[in-house]
């Protein structure tokens, strides 16, 4: 009888420590994590997805991937399915827009499933998620504006190719950019239209603007991502103008294609948005499962580049 009691004690102790032992693996091996991705609207987004999947595989994490195709309802449905099935240890969410996450985040919390926000931001109560791993979008806008101020001596009429309306990336990049140019009376945004971070839409929007505005009145384009900038380059060329000369172009992402445009002299500058957020996000999950307190924001740094050589030297 005493032997049986000891066996029961051992079983109970193992049941208590097994989850902690799983979490204590520094890389997260053995964890099952749901990753809700916005979609594949840009080359950077695809690189981001590839980087997260490669990082999960290298760590031995079972990653459940969901492509929301830029629809918030698809992200919420995927998260609710993971929560209902109870087969994930954590969820990583790259939110398509800022608002509308409270209910599903509350459901995850009630189910004991931690959520880490990556890339973009949410306006939900911070207690509903573990942390956010992302670039500083406001700083990206400031960097782009600072370069443009220097390049134009503070005199420039600007076309802004805005990202997805309601997304943290678009709102914050706009805020940072406007914060800087507001210091220079000779700099103003004369047109701002959304291209949804998509190359073809960037081209369409730029074509429309060039037909409505005297091109001579446009000093520069600030694109919220490289794909829209590359689309704008195509539209500017088709209008018989010289991109990066007649109209300066600065954007955000630092995808491989933008460096081809820099080499060709079609683009002036890009601000890096690192796609390597999977590692810090998985680290945050493991730290949380180990009972560690985390800051509500884990920043991933990036710089402004005007040449491939400078970028390569940093990487």
pLDDT tens for each residue of 126-156: 999 999 999 999 999 999 999 999 999 999 9
Domain final residue, candidates 272, 289, 309? 272
Instruction: State how far the alpha carbon of 161 is from the alpha carbons of 60, 157, 286, 311, in Å.
Output: 40, 13, 38, 24
- Closest of 24, 48, 19, 26 to residue 197, by C-alpha: 48
Instruction: State how far the alpha carbon of 27 is from the alpha carbons of 58, 61, 258, in Å.
Output: 9, 8, 33
Structure tokens at 202: 């960037």
CA–CA dist 87, 64 (Å, integer): 10
CA–CA dist 41, 67 (Å, integer): 11
266 and 153 together in one domain:
yes
141 and 104 together in one domain:
no
86 and 38 together in one domain:
yes
pLDDT means per 10 residues in the chain (315 residues)? 42 38 69 97 93 97 97 98 96 96 98 97 96 96 98 98 95 98 98 97 98 97 98 98 98 96 98 95 97 95 94 91
267 and 160 together in one domain:
yes
Give me the number of domains the chain comprises.
2
Q: How much is the pLDDT for 4? A: 43
Q: CA-CA-CA-CA torsion for 103, 109, 114, 119, nearest 10 degrees?
A: 20
Under a CB-based contact definition with an 8 Å cutoff, are residues 170 and 224 in contact? yes
Determine, yes or no, domain membership for 181: yes
290 and 244 together in one domain:
no
Full residue range of the structural domain in which residue 117 is found: 30-135+275-300
Determine, yes or no, domain membership for 144: yes
Under a CB-based contact definition with an 8 Å cutoff, are residues 237 and 243 in contact? yes
Q: How much is the pLDDT for 233? A: 98
293 and 250 together in one domain:
no
Instruction: State how far the alpha carbon of 67 is from the alpha carbons of 35, 77, 154, in Å.
Output: 9, 11, 42
The verdict on pTM exceeding 0.75 is yes
160 and 254 together in one domain:
yes
Determine, yes or no, domain membership for 230: yes
83 and 184 together in one domain:
no
CA–CA dist 113, 90 (Å, integer): 5
111 and 163 together in one domain:
no
Question: Which residues share a beta bridge with 63?
Answer: 33
Condensed to tens digits (0 to 9), the pLDDT of residues 152-174 reads 999 999 999 999 999 999 999 99
Q: How much is the pLDDT for 7? A: 41
Q: CA-CA-CA-CA torsion for 38, 39, 45, 49, nearest 10 degrees?
A: 90
Determine, yes or no, domain membership for 21: no
- Closest of 294, 289, 311, 313 to residue 302, by C-alpha: 311
145 and 247 together in one domain:
yes
- Closest of 187, 186, 204 to residue 195, by C-alpha: 204
CATH number of residue 238's parent domain:
3.40.50.2300
- H-helix or E-strand spanning residue 118: strand 115-118
Determine, yes or no, domain membership for 17: no
148 and 91 together in one domain:
no
Determine, yes or no, domain membership for 284: yes
Q: How much is the pLDDT for 294? A: 96
114 and 212 together in one domain:
no
């Amino acid at each position: 009888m005493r032997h049986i009691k000891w066996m029961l004690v051992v079983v109970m102790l193992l049941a208590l420590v097994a989850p902690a032992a799983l979490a204590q693996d520094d890389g997260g091996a053995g964890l099952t994590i749901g990753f809700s991705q916005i979609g594949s609207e840009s080359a950077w987004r695809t690189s981001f997805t590839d980087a997260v999947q490669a990082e999960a595989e290298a760590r031995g994490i079972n990653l459940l991937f969901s492509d929301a195709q830029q629809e918030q309802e698809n992200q919420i449905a995927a998260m609710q399915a993971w929560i209902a099935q109870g087969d994930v240890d954590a969820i990583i969410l790259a939110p398509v827009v800022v608002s509308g996450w409270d209910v599903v985040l509350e459901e995850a919390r009630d189910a004991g499933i931690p959520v880490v926000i990556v890339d973009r931001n949410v306006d939900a109560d911070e207690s509903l998620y573990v942390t956010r791993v992302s670039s500083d979008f406001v700083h990206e806008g400031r960097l782009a504006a600072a370069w443009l101020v220097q390049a134009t001596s503070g005199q420039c009429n600007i076309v802004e190719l805005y990202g997805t309306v309601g997304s943290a990336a678009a709102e914050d990049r706009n805020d940072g950019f406007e914060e800087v140019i507001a210091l220079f009376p000779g700099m103003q945004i004369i047109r701002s239209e959304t291209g949804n971070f998509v190359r073809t839409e960037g081209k369409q929007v730029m074509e429309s603007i060039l037909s409505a505005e005297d091109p001579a009145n446009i000093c520069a384009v600030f694109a919220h991502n490289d794909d829209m900038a590359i689309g704008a380059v195509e539209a500017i060329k088709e209008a018989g103008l010289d991109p990066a000369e007649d109209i300066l172009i600065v954007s955000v992402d630092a995808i491989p294609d933008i460096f081809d445009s820099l080499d060709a002299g079609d683009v002036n500058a890009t601000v890096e948005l690192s796609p390597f957020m999977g590692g810090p996000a998985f680290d945050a999950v493991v730290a949380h499962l180990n009972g560690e307190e985390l800051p509500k924001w884990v920043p991933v740094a990036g710089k402004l580049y005007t040449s491939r050589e400078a970028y390569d030297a940093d990487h």
